[in-house]
Structure 1
Amino acid sequence: MQTADIRRRDTARRRNDTLERLTGERDVWVSTAHPEHGPHQVPLWFWWDGEVVWMCTGGGSATVRNLRADPRVRLALPDSLDVVLLRGEARCFPAEEVPGTAADGFAGKFGWDPRGEEGPFVYVRVELSGVLAWRGVPELRGRVLMRDGVWVDGQAD
């Protein structure tokens, strides 16, 4: 196992790094749960529009079924040495009802437009209510970057 030289970032730097990752990363782990079937986790492509996370998946997927039963969702960027955990509420949009700016942004990032595919696709919009980010033990204190949908200011960091 390789360890990294971890230096504690202040809240402003940590938030900036998190926003860069939200813009640049391709995949996010999506965790949902169904009252009868339990937890479900899957990686999906995502697009961050600067305010919300957009994903797209098959209309009959367990992810969509779970979110329609319970819109609470957890997201995680795929790096255990640079943890970013997101919490929010999801809203599902059939491809024919998704806002054009969201579908165009998603298609622009990935070069794939689900609106032109056969079969039902659903866009999932996640409005964030919480964000945690840390790199190792030195950053566990102050890892909360967003609480109740509001970015923290970092004055107590």
Structure 2
Amino acid sequence: MTDTQRRGRRIRLTPAELDAFLAAQRTCRVATVGGDGAPHVGALWFAWDGTALWLYSITRSKRWAQLRKDPRISVLVDDGHEYGELRGAELTGRAEFVGEAPRHGDPCPELAAPERLFAGKYFGMTEMPHDGRHAWLRLTPESVVSWDFRKIPG
């Protein structure tokens, strides 16, 4: 095992740190794959429920169209300004479309928790406002890579 691999384990976020980090951060970068294989990256707001990352995407976006054809997705959430402050997580897997698209607010028990989290985080509300333009994507990560450079000694 190399020193780099050992350092990677030392600076990895613990499960509790990862949950707290993802709950606190506001913006993620979402990478999808186009039909020609070219990547597309865009910023989105999200909610983390401890198991899945919930993305509220415009249904007429390039991201949405690409995920319909190829559900592979990678999401980066990061923070920090100086090198020693950098921390983040990359979550990868397959996007799942959940609920009506676009979302008008029809009852969907599966969306109750993520909509409550999202509405509180971004709007300071207890209920999700629906605009008929967005819909939900769920990423239950198949892989998570995380780091916290604040853990690097001296």
* TM-score normalised according to structure 2 size: 0.71
Runs of 4+ in structure 1 deviating by more than 4 angstroms, as ranges, are: 7-13
**Structure 1 residues 27 and 20: CA distance shift in structure 2, 3 A:** same
**Structure 1 residues 15 and 100: CA distance shift in structure 2, 3 A:** closer
For the aligned residues, what is the CA RMSD? 2.8
Q: Hey, what does 2:78 align to over in structure 1?
A: 78
Unpaired runs of 5+ in structure 1? Answer: 1-6, 140-157
Q: Hey, what does 1:89 align to over in structure 2?
A: 94
Query: Structure 2: which amino acid aligns with 1:77?
Result: V
* TM-score normalised according to structure 1 size: 0.70
* Structure with more helix by fraction: 2
| Pairing 1:112-151 to 2, within 5 Å after superposition | 113-115=128-130, 117=131, 119-136=132-149
CA contact (8 A) 1:44 1:55 kept: yes
Deviations 1:34-84 (CA, angstroms, capped at 9, x unpaired): 123621101100100111000112110011111111111101113362131
| 3-state DSSP of counterpart to 1:60 | coil
Which protein, 1 or 2, shows the higher relative CO under an 8 Å CA cutoff with sep ≥ 6? 2
Q: 1-side partners of 2:8 and 2:65: how far apart?
A: 40
Q: Give the Å deviation of 1:14.
A: 3.0
Q: Give the Å deviation of 1:85.
A: 1.1
* Structure with more strand by fraction: 1
**Structure 1 residues 8 and 127: CA distance shift in structure 2, 3 A:** closer
* Alignment size in residue pairs: 130
Unpaired runs of 5+ in structure 2? Answer: 1-6, 81-85
